[in-house]
Amino acid sequence: MKKILAVAGLAAIGFAVTAFVAPKVSTDDTFEGVVTYTMSIDNPQAASMMQNSSLKIYMKAGKVKTITDMGMQKYTTFSDKSTPDAPIILVEVMGNKYQLKTDPAKKKDDTKPVIKYTDETKTVAGYTCHKAEITVTGKDGQSYTTNVYYTEDLPSYSGSRDQFQGLKGFPLEYTMSQQGMNISIAATNVSKQSVTDDTFTVPSGYKLMTAEEMQADIQKQMSGGN
């Protein structure tokens, strides 16, 4: 069980860091509101620990706050259009609070995903979405393809090094793979509403660590501190 929890935790960390890091809202900054997603995973043991997991994105005037709540773990990312390569990533797991150190030098990546647009459409959260096949080549040389349904009725939203870079719309449904598990994310509600400025205030009390240091600390605690 500890091994499954560790894998699920590391998968979640990977998801939080790559899926919605350093978002860049398009020139259309008029949308203000909240997009709510549900999350599911195809590993039965991990799924039992991640019941009612959700993801919410708050947007206002070029500022974005993403909350990934996976029950036993919670990830919050703050980003701003004016400083797209300097996101603030907070992690809460096993009663501990971490803030991930970011290295601007590592954010530059010339490898861009290859996007194939298709004619297939479906309705997600009330929005007509088009299907795109996004292929990313990892550092190991292997290629990974993600099917994503996106809408052009919301601001385009992609990070400087995430799998949605260059996508001509806002992703409302997709499936991604982490640590041999498939995590499916689908929007259930898009709410155009007022978002208060203090939504984007970063809380204090988090230990500043690199992702590697945090993962080592989590694994140490899972093994009883040995």
Q: Is residue 173 within 8 Å of residue 186, measured between CB atoms?
A: yes
For the cut 60, the answer to whether the pLDDT of residue 182 exceeds it is yes
Percent of the chain whose predicted confidence (pLDDT) is above 90:
30
DSSP result, 92-136: EETTEEEEE---GGGS------EEEEEEEEEEETTEEEEEEEEEE
Phi (first) and psi of residue 49, to 5 degrees: -90, -5
Average pLDDT over residues 165-189: 84
**Which is higher by pLDDT, 5 or 191?**
191
For the cut 90, the answer to whether the pLDDT of residue 102 exceeds it is no
DSSP result, 159-199: ETTSTTTT-SSEEEEEEEEETTEEEEEEEEEEEE----GGG
Number of domains in the chain: 1
Q: Is the pTM of this model over 0.75?
A: yes
Query: Mean of the per-residue pLDDT values for the chain?
Result: 79
What is residue 136's predicted lDDT score, i.e. its pLDDT? 82
β-bridge partners, 68: 55, 75
pLDDT band at 131 (very low <50, low <70, confident <90, very high): very high
Q: What is the pLDDT of residues 1-49, one digit of tens each?
A: 444 555 455 445 444 444 444 344 444 557 899 999 988 888 787 777 7
**What is each CA distance from 18 to 8, 22, 31, 151, in whole angstroms?**
15, 9, 23, 20
**Which is higher by pLDDT, 217 or 71?**
217
Task: Give dist(CA 90, CA 104) in Å, integer.
Answer: 17
Q: Give the list of residues 6+ apart from residue 5 with CB closer than 8 angstroms, or none.
A: 46, 49, 72, 222
Q: What is the pLDDT of residues 132-153, one digit of tens each?
A: 998 888 777 778 888 899 998 8
Q: Tell which phi-psi region holds residue 111, choosing left (phi > 0), alpha (psi between -120 and 50) or beta.
A: beta
What is residue 219's predicted lDDT score, i.e. its pLDDT? 82
What is residue 84's predicted lDDT score, i.e. its pLDDT? 66
CATH number of the domain residue 93 falls in: 2.50.20
For the cut 60, the answer to whether the pLDDT of residue 159 exceeds it is no
For the cut 50, the answer to whether the pLDDT of residue 180 exceeds it is yes
Domain that holds residue 184: 2-222
